[in-house]
Amino acid sequence: MKGMKYMKIHREKEKIFLFFTTFMLFMFCALSTGAFQSAPKPVQVVFETELGSITMEVDVAKAPITAENFLKYVDGKFYDGGVINRSVRKDNTVRHDVEIEVIQFQADAARRREMFPPIPIERTSVTGLKHVNGALSMARSTPDSAQASFSIMIGDQPSLDFAGARNADGQGFAVFGKVVSGMDVVKKIHQSKTDATGRGSYRTESLDPPIKIISAKRK
């Protein structure tokens, strides 16, 4: 009986030892592969415009491709000397089938040849980021064509999300952050004078004159 009791205790110890070693191996593998590393923190960027400053928060965790691309343009000072040249409102919109309200930013046109290659679109259905008030969204023509131009939402714009009606391809646009300070400046730009003649690059949605971007840099 004593021998059987001893064997039973020994087996229990073996089970405990096996569990402990398995757990420690799991922890070692998890730590070495970064499984327990926290998600990267958002990066704040300040755009100084001639009408005031706008502080933006770039979501590098949920939209890593778009965020990295945007920050390359910021760090490379591509937006310095650029413009905000488009304001879409209900009173000046070119399209009435699916109306939106946004302002659109452009990098310095003189550096067009230095721009980075277009990036793959990060769909809102994947990132979970939506076109809500103050959201930052990459401008594009076809999917995977975005470079430097981006927009800020004035009010929620669900038609710009994946499967939204604004773009015929249904892929939507890539949200990569939000405005955290300076929405009053965004609204001031949004209400600025636009070209009533429709001769601008965005017809009646073209800001006249465009609003100058003085600088853009990480906070």
* 2, pLDDT greater than 90: no
The pLDDT value recorded for residue 102 is 98
pLDDT mean over 200-219: 97
Considering the domain architecture, whether residues 142 and 159 belong to the same structural domain is answered as: yes
**pLDDT, tens digit (0-9, with 9 covering 90-100), for 141-180:** 999 999 999 999 999 999 999 999 999 999 999 999 999 9
Extract the tokens encoding 193.
């004078």
> Residue 19: what residue type?
F
**Domain around 20:** 1-37
- Give the chain's domain count: 2
Tokens linked to 171 = 């892929």
Q: Do 20 and 55 belong to one domain? A: no
Q: Are 33 and 117 in a shared domain?
A: no
- What pLDDT, on the 0 to 100 scale, is given for residue 175? 98
| pLDDT tens-place string over residues 3-21 | 555 555 556 656 654 555 5
Are 61 and 100 part of one and the same domain? yes
Residues 75 and 135 in one domain: yes
If one compares 102 and 38, the residue with the highest pLDDT of the two is: 102
R_g of the chain computed on alpha carbons: 25
Cβ 110 vs Cβ 86: under 8 Å: no
pLDDT in tens, 23-77: 555 555 555 555 456 789 999 999 999 999 999 999 999 999 999 999 999 999 9
Check whether residue 103 and residue 203 sit in a common domain. yes
Q: Which of 153, 49, 55 is nearest to 101 (CA)?
A: 153
The domain that contains 169 carries what CATH number?
A: 2.40.100.10
131 and 189 both lie in a single domain: yes
In the three-class reduction of DSSP (H, G, I as helix; E, B as strand; rest coil), residue 22 is classed as helix
Same domain, 31 and 129: no
> Residues 6 or more apart from 217 whose CB is under 8 A from it?
45, 46, 74, 77
* Residue 77: φ, ψ to 5°: 60, 30
**What is the pLDDT at residue 38?**
79
**Most distant CA pair in the chain: distance in Å?**
102
- Tell me the two tokens of residue 50: 């001639």
- Assess contact for 194 and 87: CB atoms under 8 A: yes
Tokens of 134: 């103050």
Residue for token pair 């906070």: 219
Same domain, 70 and 165: yes
The answer to whether residue 214 scores a pLDDT higher than 80 is yes
Residue labelled with tokens 């110890």: 13
Note whether 150 and 121 are within 8 A (CB): no
Do 70 and 156 lie in one domain? The reply is yes
Tens of pLDDT, residues 176-209:
999 999 999 999 999 999 999 998 999 999 999 9
For residue 187, what pLDDT is reported?
98
Q: Is the pTM of this model over 0.75?
A: yes
Q: Clarify whether residues 28 and 50 are in a common domain.
A: no
